Structure 1
Amino acid sequence: MNEEELYSIGDAAHRSGLSVGTVRFYSDEGVVEATGTTESGHRLYDVHAIARLELVRTLRDLDTGLDEIRRLLRGGTNLQDLLTTHLEVVQRQEHVLRARQAVLRALIKQGGTTAQADLMHRLVSMPDEERERTVEDFWNEVGEGLDVPDGFVDRLRTMRPRLHEDPTAAQLQAWIELADLLRDAKFRDAVRAYLRDGYSTGPGRFIASEPAQELIHTDGAAISEELIAAHHAGEAARSPRVQGITERFVAVTATLADGQDTARLRDRLAAAFLLADEFMREEEGPYAAGHAWYDETHGRYLSLVAVINGNAAEETDPLPYLAWFAEALRSSTSGS
């Protein structure tokens, strides 16, 4: 376009993507005034006026008010600040839309009622403090009077959902499902029964003990990751690398056995891993791999928390690893 050329209101409307009526309205409102008029009184616009009309159209698409647009065009505010403000508005709108999307998907999946829709809307807008109370109340009831080692339930309750300030639709959906479960008396009873039957006696009680939990979640966790990586890489249980990792595992584990690394300790550890392998292969009971009892109780809680927190990890099948590590322990030569 020629900077000195003047264009009719029809041309200005066409070039700016607005209707003639809208261009006339902005002119009457003093937002973008005509550059001049013809002898017969028809409005004319130069290229600068048309560029301002294009900007106004963009800002109006962002729901910017006419007063804000006037201040911008008159130099009362700058475009950077205005666009930053509107980016924040758009982000808030995006958050609301994701929340609505999560509610609608959950309702469609569940065939929800009006009352359920109202509940789900309250869930997604729940303050952080109320979310914390909901989770805390759940673990208080599940753990009350539960015959498991001291500190075990307190450790479990630290694995809790932390909904991000800008959650995805999947995270909101997971929170809706989890919050619904936490309020469900049958779910609370099922989790309580799983923890009682799985960790109140036998090997489960040992696993839930404070020393064993410390080992599992500190030094033992890092060493276990190395062992799993070696197994996935196809290393033999008797290979020098695996034997070296095994030595470190035994050294850490010895702290649970009066600090003594002995052949008897290694035999006991190997027997424990073989016993765990046997439990995991059972088709019934809380230790069964992928068993519905775990998947529908504590496992469901943990999987939803992982989605909400954005750190869901691929599950590792422990079955081939357990017997393999038992062989690594039995073939190690240290200890007396």
Structure 2
Amino acid sequence: MRYSIGDLARRTGLTVKAVRFYSDRGLVPPSGRNTAGHRRYDDAARTRLDLIRTLRDLGVDLATIQRVVDGEATVADVAARHAEALEVQIRVLRVRQTVLAAVAKRGSNPEETTLMHELARLSEVERRRLVDDFLADTLGDRPDLAGIARTLTPELPENPRPEQLEAWIELAELAQDEEFRAILRQLVEQHEGGIRRDLAAEVRDVVTPALEAGVAPDSPEAGAIVDGLGRDPRQVREWLGLVNDPRRERYLRLLAVINGWAAPESLAPAFGWLAAATA
């Protein structure tokens, strides 16, 4: 069957101008001309135009399309390469969207916006370097704390969800907070002195049930619980002043989001109860 440019445009859903453009580029050469010298196209040209329109809709450039219609590349090969390229673009767009959403939610100033953007764009190696520096500064190079270091290490997936990327940005900011780092160093020192050892577990196992049972922190029963901890109340209060810093719990919650873990139990209410009971 023979088609004029107008016929071909109507059958393929393209404009006459587009068909003429592709024809002039050699992508859809005419199969002949009528007596008036007007170009005519066959069914093969219609099939080519359908393919060209599809590939253009998918974002494939004309040079690549030329290679496909000339038989120098297959549609499958081209699709694979463009799918990979789109995946990279999607990741970039996801980062941008997450940063912009976080900026809008926080009402960030220009300096914070720049920092958040830089943290979001870090490579895996750069992220690892930032985390390693944080852990080395707070925990030290101690083999006995290697297990703790692992539990404090974020592992951002290659294709993170927006909430994971946003959590990473905030966690990375926390990791660079010098006051937060100092608090963790002091907790490590107390751990070495035996003050902190297993105390958090005791708070969870002993204090939390008492709190849930409605035991008043100024009651004799609360006093017995404090005595049962076997620590100097002054040292317990000092420890609580560090461990109950909201940044510590926030770090753990962000870590859970990034690593896909269950949200950690909050011990803040139990810490508050214990602080009152040892006052």
Q: TM-score range by the shorter chain?
A: 0.7 to 0.9
Give the aligned residue type for 2:178: A
Is 1:15 the equivalent of 2:7? no
What residue in structure 1 maps to residue 177 of structure 2? 184
The whole-number CA distance in structure 1 between the counterparts of 2:51 and 2:138 is 59
TM-superposed deviation, 1:18: 2.2
Give the aligned residue type for 1:163: L
From 270, 273, 296, the equivalent of 2:246 is 296
What residue in structure 2 maps to residue 79 of structure 1? 75
Is 1:277 the equivalent of 2:201? no
TM-superposed deviation, 1:305: 1.8
The whole-number CA distance in structure 2 between the counterparts of 1:10 and 1:193 is 80
Give the aligned residue type for 1:312: W
From 141, 157, 166, the equivalent of 2:159 is 166
CA deviations 1:266-325 (Å, max 9, x no partner) are xxx9xx94466347888897999xxxx65823322122122222x23155689xxxxxxx
Is 1:157 the equivalent of 2:149? yes
Q: How many residues align?
A: 245
What residue in structure 1 maps to residue 262 of structure 2? 313
Secondary structure class of the residue paired with 1:33: coil
- 5 Å-filtered alignment, 1:248-259, equals none
TM-superposed deviation, 1:112: 2.4
Give the aligned residue type for 1:307: V
Give the aligned residue type for 1:277: P
Question: Aligned pair in 2 of structure 1 residues 285, 168: CA closer, same or farther (>3 Å)?
Answer: farther
- 5 Å-filtered alignment, 1:11-50, equals 11-50=7-46
What residue in structure 2 maps to residue 212 of structure 1? none
Secondary structure class of the residue paired with 2:9: helix
Give the aligned residue type for 1:18: L
Question: Aligned pair in 2 of structure 1 residues 14, 85: CA closer, same or farther (>3 Å)?
Answer: same
Secondary structure class of the residue paired with 2:59: coil
Q: Given the two structures, how large is their TM-score scaled by the length of structure 1?
A: 0.61
What residue in structure 2 maps to residue 206 of structure 1? 198
CA contact (8 A) 1:303 1:312 kept: no
Q: Given the two structures, how large is their TM-score scaled by the length of structure 2?
A: 0.72
CA contact (8 A) 1:13 1:23 kept: yes
CA contact (8 A) 2:256 2:263 kept: no
Structure 2: runs of 5 or more not aligned = 218-235, 268-279
CA contact (8 A) 1:194 1:297 kept: no
The whole-number CA distance in structure 1 between the counterparts of 2:77 and 2:42 is 27
Give the aligned residue type for 1:155: G
CA RMSD after TM alignment? 3.6
CA deviations 1:149-207 (Å, max 9, x no partner) are x76643222121112222222221111111111112233344455666789655x4135
TM-superposed deviation, 1:74: 1.5
Secondary structure class of the residue paired with 2:88: helix
CA contact (8 A) 1:71 1:77 kept: yes
Give the aligned residue type for 1:74: D
CA contact (8 A) 1:103 1:173 kept: yes
Question: Aligned pair in 2 of structure 1 residues 186, 86: CA closer, same or farther (>3 Å)?
Answer: same
The whole-number CA distance in structure 1 between the counterparts of 2:140 and 2:31 is 79
Give the aligned residue type for 2:6: G
Question: Aligned pair in 2 of structure 1 residues 53, 285: CA closer, same or farther (>3 Å)?
Answer: farther
The whole-number CA distance in structure 2 between the counterparts of 1:19 and 1:119 is 48
- Identical counterparts, % of pairs: 37
Structure 1: runs of 5 or more not aligned = 209-215, 217-268, 319-336
CA contact (8 A) 2:155 2:258 kept: yes
Give the aligned residue type for 2:163: A
CA contact (8 A) 1:172 1:308 kept: yes
